[in-house]
Amino acid sequence: MSMLSVDLYQSATDPEKFLAIPAGVDPTTLMGPMTFDQDYAQVVRYREAFEFDPAETYAGVNAAQIAADILTIKWSMYRRQAAQGARPG
């Protein structure tokens, strides 16, 4: 799978919850994330145009699942899990 350019947003109400969407997409135009979880009704940009490689390992996230979500439904909600011994990303 090739690299994906994504914008990452963090929930304003729960800092452990993140939203990944294709770079340049306005998160306020997406109804899906906040329909499933109100913590995504207010988000703040965490990283812009992040070059996301689904084959890489990122601390506390399932990169393959995030990529699959973005490619199928155009967004991915995820919670970063603390991994023992992993550096915060």
Q: Sketch the domain layout of the chain as residue ranges.
A: 4-79
- List the alpha helices (DSSP H) in 1-89: 32-36, 63-73
Give the pLDDT confidence score for residue 1 in this predicted structure. Answer: 61
The tokens 């155009």 sit on which residue?
74
State pTM to two decimals.
Answer: 0.84
Written as tens digits, the pLDDT of the chain (89 aa) is 688 999 999 999 999 999 999 999 999 999 899 888 999 999 999 999 999 899 888 888 889 999 999 999 999 999 987 654 444 44
Class of domain 4-79: alpha beta
Give the pLDDT confidence score for residue 84 in this predicted structure. Answer: 44
Yes or no: say if 10 and 44 are a contact pair by the CB < 8 Å rule: yes
Helix (H) or strand (E) holding 6: strand 4-11
Give the pLDDT confidence score for residue 87 in this predicted structure. Answer: 41
Tell me 87's DSSP state. P
CA 30, distance to chain mean position in Å, is 13
